[in-house]
Amino acid sequence: MLMILRDERKRAIFDQVLFLVIVSAFIYYLSANLIENLNRLGISTGFSFLWQEAGYQIGGALIDFDDTDSYALAHIVGLLNTLLATFLIIVSASILGFIIGILRMSPNPLMTNSIRYVIEVIRNIPSLVHIVIWFSLALHLPPVRQSFDIYNTVFISNRGIYLPDPNFESGMWGVLFLFICLLAYAFFRKRKAQQLMRETGKYQATFLSNTLIIWGGTICAYLLFGLPITWQAPTLSGFDFDGGITIAPELFAIWIALSIYFSSHVAELVRGGVQSVSKGQFEAASALGVRYSITMKMVVIPQAMRVIVPPLTNVYQNILKTTSLGVAIGYAEMTATTGGTTLNLTGQAIECILLMMVSYGIISLIIAAIMDQINKHVAIVER
């Protein structure tokens, strides 16, 4: 018997069979308990509960939802809110993080040191604490009737931030079409300038003129088509505002808090990336008389991006996972709807968890796929 274990191949099979037996016995034990408990509590398994009436209301839903709609729709509402928060936080944390990261590497010691301390403070406070701090700040804003207003179009109160709602008229299609045409033209000019650079070495500045062409043309078209966007400003009626877009305090709090929290992570990645570019590159550029800003833009950042982008995927996936903390302040995202209320009301724990796992997994994979495309774009092209 023991001789079997001396033979490497037989040993491998023996190990795996033993492992499989132990694991399946364990899983069998757990599921037997589960089935017994579910029977005792009178909970039926399966996903059919998704089509039942949810019977609860969700504040801050992006699509129409009321308590006669199904649990499946409640899941969609949560999913959309998760997507919205993830998208907003990724965009603002990246922009903020890049700015902070670049400033962190500036030659000015006053700037670098103050940013270093700020990053240290932000990083060492848990994300949930950031969220509750911003949420209690948002609730300390003045009530609706005494809200701050900016030229009577944007109102800031403890019920949320009210923005004017744009109304698009048919002329907007013309403007949009022209905008795309101009964008294509600008792209063509840039390609031509690049070709000129490759062939003759002559540098032709296109950034400023292109910006002028795109925005100047679009604004002209906008005027020409007779101002096709009308803004519907929120108006105070009774105890609340009517019309306009509302950013609820929950979304506001989680957006600001997590943008700040994750911008410190992005900034550290940017710093690591810039430091990974060898010093010789800086020195060569400055020996050629290239200005600091141009050195950063043309020499350092393209090389740093190769180091920054792969771990950035991780940060973005963390942002997705961390939006689940919205449940603490009542932001109706997936963990709050499916993982919280639905789970509590139906008791279909396994199904709810599976549903969330699949949803989070798919979004995570989408983020990874997009970042993979960006990574291909910035990675070293090897021949």
CB closer to another protein, 132 vs 248: 132
State in angstroms the smallest separation of the CB of 274 from another protein: 16
Query: For residue 289, with 0-12 CB atoms within 10 Å meaning exposed, 13-18 middle and 19 or more buried, which class applies?
Result: exposed
Q: Which of 335, 339, 332, 276 has the alpha carbon at shortest distance from 302?
A: 276
Minimal distance in Å, beta carbon 298 to another protein?
16
Binding to another protein by CB under 8 A, coded x per residue (else -) over 67-106, reads ------------------------------------x--x
- Is the separation of the CB atoms in 50 and 73 below 8 Å? no
125 contributes a contact to another protein by CB under 8 A: yes
Q: Is 275 in the site for another protein (CB under 8 A)?
A: no
Asked if residue 34 binds another protein (CB under 8 A), the reply is yes
Q: What tokens does 307 get? A: 């180091």
Q: Where in 351-370 is the site for another protein (CB under 8 A)?
A: 353, 356-357, 360-361, 364
311 interacts with another protein by CB under 8 A? no
- Alpha-carbon distance of 339 to 54, in angstroms, equals 14
Q: Which of 55, 59, 126, 142 binds another protein (CB under 8 A)?
A: 126
- Backbone torsions φ then ψ of 7, nearest 5 degrees: -85, 120
> Do 158 and 143 touch, CB atoms closer than 8 A?
yes
Q: Is 204 in the site for another protein (CB under 8 A)?
A: no
> For 105-169, where are the alpha helices, taking DSSP H only?
109-123, 127-139
Q: Which is nearer to another protein, 137 or 214 (CB)?
A: 137
Please state, in angstroms and rounded to a whole number, the distance separating the CA atoms of residues 147 and 43.
49
Residue 3 lies near another protein (rule: CB under 8 A): no
CA dihedral 81, 83, 88, 91 (to 10 degrees): 170
Q: Which is nearer to another protein, 168 or 292 (CB)?
A: 292
Nearer to another protein, 17 or 180 (CB): 17
Helix axes 249-276, 301-322, angle to 10 degrees: 150
∠ CA 307-317-258 to the nearest 5 degrees? 100
Residues 334, 322 contacting (CB under 8 angstroms): no
In the list 2, 9, 46, 109, the residue contacting another protein (rule: CB under 8 A) is: 109
**CB-nearer residue toward another protein: 130 or 271:** 130
φ, ψ of residue 165 to 5 degrees: the values are: -100, 125
- Select from 133-141, 187-195, 280-288, 375-383 the region that touches another protein (CB under 8 A): 133-141
- 312 in Cβ contact with 352 (< 8 Å): no
Query: Considering beta carbons, is residue 130 or 159 the nearer one to another protein?
Result: 130
Single out the residue of 111, 212, 220, 227 in contact with another protein (rule: CB under 8 A). Answer: 111
- Does 120 help bind another protein (rule: CB under 8 A)? yes
| Interaction site with another protein (CB under 8 A) | 12, 15-16, 19-20, 23, 30, 33-34, 36-38, 40, 103, 106-111, 114, 120-121, 124-130, 132-133, 136-137, 139-140, 292-293, 321-322, 324-325, 327-328, 335, 339-340, 343-344, 349-350, 353, 356-357, 360-361, 364
